[in-house]
Amino acid sequence: MPAVVTFTTAGTRSRVLHFPKEADMAASKSKPAGPAPSQTPSKASDESSSGKSSAEGNRPPVHTLRYGLIKVSIWENEAGNGSTFFSVTVSRSYQDERDEWHDTQSFNFSDLPTLAKAVNDAHSWCAWTMRQRKQPES
């Protein structure tokens, strides 16, 4: 699983992905990768916005990228022929007037550059993961 380095520039929190070696990925596979605690919306809003709840027996995303309020969740699915593929959901967190966190799939004009970066990084993570799985272990 890629390591995430967080830095702050001009009041905006950004994250950079560093992709580890396969051995590092296997060692950290059991650790969940979640959003930063300071930016964590409530679990109920995560489940309702994605339509996927672990209480319903669905698996959590295999990877989550978070850039400020923008979140990209990567899901691993199995096709009928036994092969696996990835799908991606995107959301933006917001606080209502009662300071409760919610997620939406609607994005503001100003969200679009960050959304593009997050989706591009999700594509890179999926491509890197598929490439790692195809390589024979040495």
The Cα–Cα gap between 67 and 72 comes to 9
44 belongs to a structural domain: yes
Does the pLDDT of residue 10 top 80, yes or no?
A: no
pTM above 0.85, yes or no: no
| Tokens of residue 127, six digits | 């491509």
114 belongs to a structural domain: yes
Q: How many folded domains does the chain comprise?
A: 1
pLDDT tens digits, 100-112: 999 999 999 999 9
pLDDT of residue 56: 37
pLDDT of residue 46: 42
116 belongs to a structural domain: yes
The Cα–Cα gap between 52 and 58 comes to 6
| Tokens of residue 19, six digits | 């992709």
The Cα–Cα gap between 14 and 7 comes to 6
Could you tell me where the beta strands, DSSP code E, fall in 26-136? Answer: 63-67, 70-78, 84-95, 101-104
2 belongs to a structural domain: no
5 belongs to a structural domain: no
63 belongs to a structural domain: yes
pLDDT tens digits, 26-65: 444 444 344 443 444 433 334 444 444 443 347 899 999 9
pLDDT bracket for residue 137 (50, 70, 90): low
- How high is the mean pLDDT of the chain? 74
69 belongs to a structural domain: yes
- Domain residues for the domain of 65 are 35-134
